[in-house]
């Protein structure tokens, strides 16, 4: 028995299976930064962390970083922290935006995926990739006082069986999040992973956890035979449907078309952190030198950013879509 994991092994037995699993964690923010540590402490020693962002001061209340990490890539900071916990573990990090062009190369050889992202487009891309390649993956989301957990296992319902398309919605940046929630929901996902790897338990329930009233609700997710992904095997996001931004007339101006009608009421909390004006057709939000205009018919224009990557980050940060 390995002394490092002796207390866990006294309860669940040998964790040799866990130590062999190659895990990818997509996102190293509120969820990913705690999730990675809990996975490592549970015996998952082969981890790959993918994140495009860097540590900012507002991250410190709900993400697993310190002031010494400010301004540095999250994936790098997390890798260094994990290696300090277990120097023998194989921890890789990639500072990049995961997309349909690089996903196969980045995730090659992975046995288990964890979604810790901030937008639905990446989740739909992960869903396509995992369904096509028969790889289990764990969906996680948080907002305000509520965490959401789902797991896909080959042959079971996938994410698109019940979420048909990406939507613009509130985010942690606009609506906030309780600082203790990421740790709660991350711990829950690690338990689901242990149950799967050690006990072959394929729990696909959609779980809703409230960190204020301690309630947990479980919902059965039925496989949709007409699901475009797991039913019809149409992998549109993996094949390039990622709503790419286009540069339009004007300096530092980008446009995104999201192919859906937009409900402006989802963005009411943005007035707490920036300037908001709206009319019947357009919702305007500005903060510092950046201005975002959301059109009722599904167009988003971002002004005041230096490049496409910054525009994508801004849209994901405030509207959960990028």
β-bridge mates for residue 139, sequence order: 150
Sheet containing strand 253-257, edge to edge, reads: 246-247, 253-257, 299-303, 290-295, 282-287, 275-278
Q: Where in the chain is the domain with CATH 3.30.310.10?
A: 246-319
Q: Which CATH superfamily is domain 3-219 in?
A: NAD(P)-binding Rossmann-like Domain (3.40.50.720)
Q: Tens place of pLDDT for every residue, the chain, 322 residues?
A: 578 999 999 999 999 999 999 999 999 999 999 999 999 999 999 999 999 888 989 899 999 999 999 999 999 999 999 999 999 999 999 998 898 999 999 999 999 999 999 888 889 999 999 999 999 999 999 989 999 999 999 999 999 999 988 776 777 877 788 999 999 999 999 999 999 999 999 989 999 999 999 899 999 999 999 999 999 999 999 988 756 666 665 567 887 777 778 888 888 889 888 999 988 888 999 988 889 888 888 888 888 888 888 888 888 888 877 5
DSSP one-letter string for 200-268: ------EEEEETTT--EEEE-----TT-TTTTT---TTTTT-S---EE-SSTTEEEEE-SS---GGGGG
Q: Where in the chain is the domain with CATH 3.40.50.720?
A: 3-219
Tell me if the domain spanning 246-319 has CATH number 2.40.50.140.
no
């Amino acid at each position: 028995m390995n002394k490092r994991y002796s207390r866990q092994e006294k309860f669940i037995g040998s964790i040799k299976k866990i130590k062999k699993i190659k895990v990818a964690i997509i996102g190293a923010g509120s969820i990913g930064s705690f999730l990675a540590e809990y996975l490592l402490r549970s015996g998952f020693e082969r981890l790959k962390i993918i994140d495009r962002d860097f540590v900012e001061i507002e991250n410190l209340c709900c993400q697993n970083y310190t002031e010494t990490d400010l301004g540095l890539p999250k994936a790098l900071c997390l890798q260094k922290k994990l290696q300090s916990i277990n120097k023998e573990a194989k921890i890789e990090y990639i500072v990049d935006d995961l997309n349909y062009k690089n996903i196969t190369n980045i995730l090659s050889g992975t046995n288990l995926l964890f979604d810790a992202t901030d937008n639905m487009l990446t989740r739909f891309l992960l869903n396509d990739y995992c369904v096509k390649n028969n790889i289990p993956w764990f969906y996680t989301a948080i907002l305000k006082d509520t965490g959401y957990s789902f797991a896909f296992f080959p042959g079971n319902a996938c994410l698109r069986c019940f979420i048909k398309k990406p939507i613009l919605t509130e985010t942690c940046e606009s609506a906030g999040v309780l600082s203790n929630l990421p740790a709660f929901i991350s711990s829950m996902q690690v338990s689901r992973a242990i149950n799967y790897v050690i006990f072959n338990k394929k729990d696909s329930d959609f779980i809703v956890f409230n960190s204020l009233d301690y309630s947990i609700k479980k919902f059965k997710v039925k496989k949709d035979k007409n699901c475009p992904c797991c039913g019809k095997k149409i992998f549109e996001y993996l094949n390039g449907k990622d709503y790419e931004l286009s540069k339009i007339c004007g300096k530092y101006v980008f446009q995104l078309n999201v192919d859906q009608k937009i409900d402006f009421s989802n963005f009411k909390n943005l007035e707490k952190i920036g300037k908001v004006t709206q009319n019947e057709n357009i919702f305007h939000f500005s903060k510092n030198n950046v201005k975002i205009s959301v059109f009722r018919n599904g167009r988003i224009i971002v002004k005041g950013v230096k490049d496409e990557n910054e525009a994508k980050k801004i849209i994901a940060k405030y509207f959960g879509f990028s």
